[in-house]
Amino acid sequence: MTNAEALQLTYYRDTAEQYDEWHTLRFDEHHFALEHIVFYLKWIGATSVLDTGCGTGRSMRYIQDRLPGIVLRGNDPSEELLNAAVDRRGISRDVLDCASTLELPYTDAAFDAVVETGILHHVADPARAVAEMLRVSRKAVFLSDSNIYGQGSPLGRIAKLALARFHLLKPINWIRRGGRDWYYSAGDGVAFSYSVFDSYQAVESACAEVVVIPTSREQGSGGSPLLFSSHCLLCGFKDVLPLPGAHP
């Protein structure tokens, strides 16, 4: 386990009691994303869903309440957050696994869909996490997460995107952060500079259709979500979406 991983687990342990309150108030973009996710789950006829990095079970409860017959499972590396999912959300401990998204303990294509809400910017290797999500999903993956290229000043957004295109953003951040590729905040713990668009190519290569939905409140300028939305939902569908009204 790396220092960053250990520090983030400590953060989850120390904030488990307040975690829901803090993040429900601050990260309402995931609630907006879940509205779209439920719509697409219905559209593709999904009957089983994995919420990876499920934390306190907020997304699991949201999906369960709107799709009562669906089979849900969740995994998270924090026992404290899983305990909160049981105690506060009423999630059965039998459907929760203490495991990392980087190494999912499930067989290939074990679930119709895999969902993550706000975990990829907390892992050092999001590409590996997305590969695992794609591996265990049969029909679709849904990534609701940060978009660093839509954050900061207009010039800063363009600069980050340009540096990333030339593979310079990570080394520059490493120097800026004193030899670390992550930073720490009291409100979010350990985080890395990540964008769902960093995962676009991997999702596109494994899926027949890809949809990007801006989910942040400031979006509304009509510009591309790449540069105008601080958070986005990236949806990947392994088969072409069925026509509306058609059975998947």
In the CATH hierarchy, which fold is given to the domain comprising 3-148+183-237? Answer: Rossmann fold (3.40.50)
Predicted local confidence at residue 20, as pLDDT = 64
Specify the amino acid at residue 36: H
Predicted local confidence at residue 126, as pLDDT = 98
Q: Which residue bears the tokens 């910017």?
A: 121
Predicted local confidence at residue 25, as pLDDT = 42
Predicted local confidence at residue 68, as pLDDT = 95
The Cα–Cα gap between 219 and 33 comes to 14
Q: Pairing state of beta strands 111-117 and 209-214?
A: unpaired
The Cα–Cα gap between 61 and 207 comes to 27
Quick: pLDDT tens for 24-81. 544 579 999 999 999 999 999 999 999 999 999 999 999 999 999 999 999 999 999 9
Q: Which residue bears the tokens 């590969």?
A: 131
Structure tokens at 227: 């540069």
pLDDT along the chain (248 residues), means of 10: 88 75 63 96 98 96 96 97 95 98 98 97 97 98 97 96 96 95 91 97 98 81 84 97 71
Widest pairwise Cα distance in the chain: 55
9, HSE (Cβ side, Cα atoms, 13 Å): 13
Structure tokens at 98: 């203490």
Contact 53, 73 (CB under 8 A): no
Predicted local confidence at residue 242, as pLDDT = 87
Predicted local confidence at residue 219, as pLDDT = 55
- Burial label for 144, CB within 10 Å (0-12, 13-18, 19+), is buried
